[in-house]
Amino acid sequence: MLTWLKRFFSDETAFVGYVRAALMGLGGAQVAGMLPDTFPRWLGVVALVAGGFIRAGDKNPKNGG
């Protein structure tokens, strides 16, 4: 758990990946009807789009290096 928290706060790629996964999980749960009715219906779609919009993984090196 400590290693996960360290990577979460120190590694940008890991942080972006975890945030992306959380948004897509929230959106999927809302679309599937797993969240209470107090959440707006559009929240699921917005969370899925935001999670898909955030890029995850290594960035391409500039100028070949």
Q: Domain limits of the chain?
A: 19-55
> Model-level pTM greater than 0.85?
no
Query: What pLDDT is attached to residue 26?
Result: 93
Going by C-alpha positions, the residue among 59, 55, 60 that lies closest to residue 16 is 55
Query: What pLDDT is attached to residue 28?
Result: 93
Higher pLDDT, 6 or 40: 40
List pLDDT tens digits, range 24-62.
999 999 999 999 989 898 999 999 999 988 875 556 666
DSSP 22-51: HHHHHHHHHHTT-S-TTS-THHHHHHHHHH
Alpha-carbon distance of 29 to 10, in angstroms, equals 28
